[in-house]
Structure 1
Amino acid sequence: MSMLMCKQIQPLQHIPTGGIDLPVLRSRHQKEKVVVIMGATGTGKSRLSIDLATRFPAEIVNSDKMQVYEGLDVVTNKITEEERCGVPHHLLGAINPDSDFTAGDFCNMASVAMKSVASRGQLPIIVGGSNSCVEALVDDDDYTFRSRYDCCFLWVDVSMPVLHSVVSARVDRMVDAGMVDEARKMFNPSADYSRGIRRAIGVPEFDRYFRFGESSDEVVRARLLQEAIKDTKINTRRLAWRQLEKIYRLRNAKGWKMHRLDATDVFRKHGREANKVWEELVLAPSMDIVSQFLSSFEHKEHVDARQLRVAAMGTAMAAATH
């Protein structure tokens, strides 16, 4: 993400849809508005969230289950303070790194954050790569989220061959930015890599290097380091595949209406040309989609969850008697 963008963009106080403010769009009969940005790792989700949040009155709710933990900012690729451009972020670096953070925990904390954001007349923008957490939030068992919120799903997509190159280059930049030293501080010979922040890609991959490499000769140490970096790249690519498969399932099997934004050509360019393509293919369409979304009205469904379950049971029983 270019830091120049933060300096150029001035936050808008009004939504560019006829000057209608968010509070005006809401009443007790209207659903709250929420934008959800999805996509595989490395596609530019964070960049888009900042671009939108600096043009609409918005705050960001993180939905990456590794970035929710405190620490390992480089390993988990957290957006930096400078990159945030002054936009408030929630659920970012907020959880003890040794605790287990579940999808249920995310639902509870995200719900509180969204209510807080909406109460200030701001638009909540949910962004992150943990699609299982987003699914648990949106499609909860008692229909609470859907009855309260009207969602706009933006899907930033990049062709997988191009994304593989992007991911590899990003891991190299992370190594240059101190990823190895950061992971070393978390190393514990008896660590459980199935809990807390140690599940993050870039931690278990370096176990052998920290365990054996630093006491070995220079050749062995260099080989183990390169193997750890290679494994980190491979596992990040696998993560991207899983994330993409989950998005397809949410769209095709569950019927989530997603606005797909193809950012592939952005990563085939460099410098100003890449920024220009981003603005044309991703940012401009996203702004149009969000503007239309915010100016549309959808009635809030005041339905008690217990009534829904009772009605469903009654229908099933009636069908069984015929």
Structure 2
Amino acid sequence: MDKVIMIVGPTAVGKSALGIDLAKQFNGEIISGDSMQIFRHLDIGTAKVLPGEMQGVPHHLLNIRNPDEKFSAHDFQQAAGNLVRKITARGHVPIIVGGTGFYLRMFLLGWQLGTERQSNHITDGLNDEAAWQKLNIADPAAAAKIPVANRRRVERALAVIAETGQLFSDQGDDLTPAYDACVIGLNTERQQLYARINARVDQMIAQGLEKEARWLYAQGGADWPAGKGIGYREWWPYFTGQASLPATVDRIKADSRHYAKRQLTYFRHQLPVHWFNLLENPAEENKIKLLVASLLTR
């Protein structure tokens, strides 16, 4: 079973920096586990690690899709799995860094959700409410955890049931992980985390986030997958004169804070995480390195 290091946690908590540090010490290569950093041209709003910041560490799954293209959890599972095998064959250590919880859980547990094409067609002709009701009849426990408006998750859950004959809600806790993984979680006290998120948004504004979002909007990006992401979707009312700039920036900050809260809830309940607070206790990085070393030598 291939060994994998995973670094998870909410936005703005230092995952990228830790990933680079571990890669430099353990001869690693980084695989992005972020559903927005796959998009070309969108660097500021996705907090993408740029070439000059990589410190010579190879990074994968960055800039692999145009903003109008989809990249599903199934796509991530396949792409990340192929990379893990190639990186391992090179004698290097695969390190997955990111905050898109469903992608990471699906990858770790090896869920078989079918192809994007299968998922897309399983609810043809149904509106969101009818599609959700179909899932509610088939698997009430899964439906209770998936909002009616989350069409993609509803379709994936139905695809799992159709393909495997098992309930989507049964997928996970009793499954054997597909990789020998060490999952490292970074977090900090809530007020400090929120302050860091707010400061990061201010930095993005100073770096030119509005210009980046205007480019996306001018291309028709409001209706594209990339245009649904935090840091971009909040600009659309401003560009049409329905919101002020201060209100737009405040909305980005609020959405980012709410997302961080959801990330933490997901990781705490869905992944076997070893938690650390490097912002308040930097010396804990030594404990992380011992944990990684124990994985690599077992």
1:140 CA drift (Å)? 2.4
Q: How many residues align?
A: 237
Distance 1:110 1:212, change over 3 A: same
Partner of 1:90: 60
- The answer (yes or no) to whether the contact 1:33–1:149 under 8 Å persists in 2 is yes
* Residue 212 of structure 1 pairs with residue 241 of structure 2: yes
Partner of 1:132: 102
User: Which entry has the higher C-alpha Rg, 1 or 2?
Assistant: 1
Identity between Structure 1 and Structure 2 (%): 32
1:192 CA drift (Å)? 4.1
Match for 1:150: what amino acid?
D
Tell me how far apart the structure 1 counterparts of residues 287 and 37 of structure 2 sit (CA, whole Å).
Answer: 28
- Paired residue secondary structure (1:182): helix
**Corresponding residue to 2:200 among 139, 154, 170:** 170
**Corresponding residue to 1:56 among 26, 40, 45:** 26
* Residue 153 of structure 1 pairs with residue 123 of structure 2: no
- The answer (yes or no) to whether the contact 2:216–2:222 under 8 Å persists in 1 is no
* Residue 198 of structure 1 pairs with residue 213 of structure 2: no
Match for 1:203: what amino acid?
Y
**Corresponding residue to 1:186 among 208, 213, 216:** 216
**Corresponding residue to 1:248 among 268, 274, 298:** 268
Tell me how far apart the structure 2 counterparts of residues 211 and 119 of structure 1 sit (CA, whole Å).
Answer: 51
Partner of 1:239: 259
1:148 CA drift (Å)? 5.2
Partner of 1:224: 244
Q: Where does structure 1 differ by over 6 angstroms across 4 or more consecutive aligned residues?
A: none
TM-score by length of 2: 0.75
- The answer (yes or no) to whether the contact 2:110–2:177 under 8 Å persists in 1 is no
Tell me how far apart the structure 2 counterparts of residues 169 and 115 of structure 1 sit (CA, whole Å).
Answer: 38
Partner of 2:297: 295
**Corresponding residue to 1:43 among 7, 13, 16:** 13
Partner of 2:159: none
Tell me how far apart the structure 2 counterparts of residues 95 and 189 of structure 1 sit (CA, whole Å).
Answer: 15
Tell me how far apart the structure 2 counterparts of residues 184 and 192 of structure 1 sit (CA, whole Å).
Answer: 10
TM-score by length of 1: 0.70
- The answer (yes or no) to whether the contact 1:138–1:146 under 8 Å persists in 2 is no
- Which ranges of structure 2 fall in alignment gaps of 5 or more residues? 113-170
- The answer (yes or no) to whether the contact 2:10–2:187 under 8 Å persists in 1 is yes
- Paired residue secondary structure (2:53): coil
**Corresponding residue to 2:38 among 48, 53, 68:** 68
Match for 1:200: what amino acid?
G
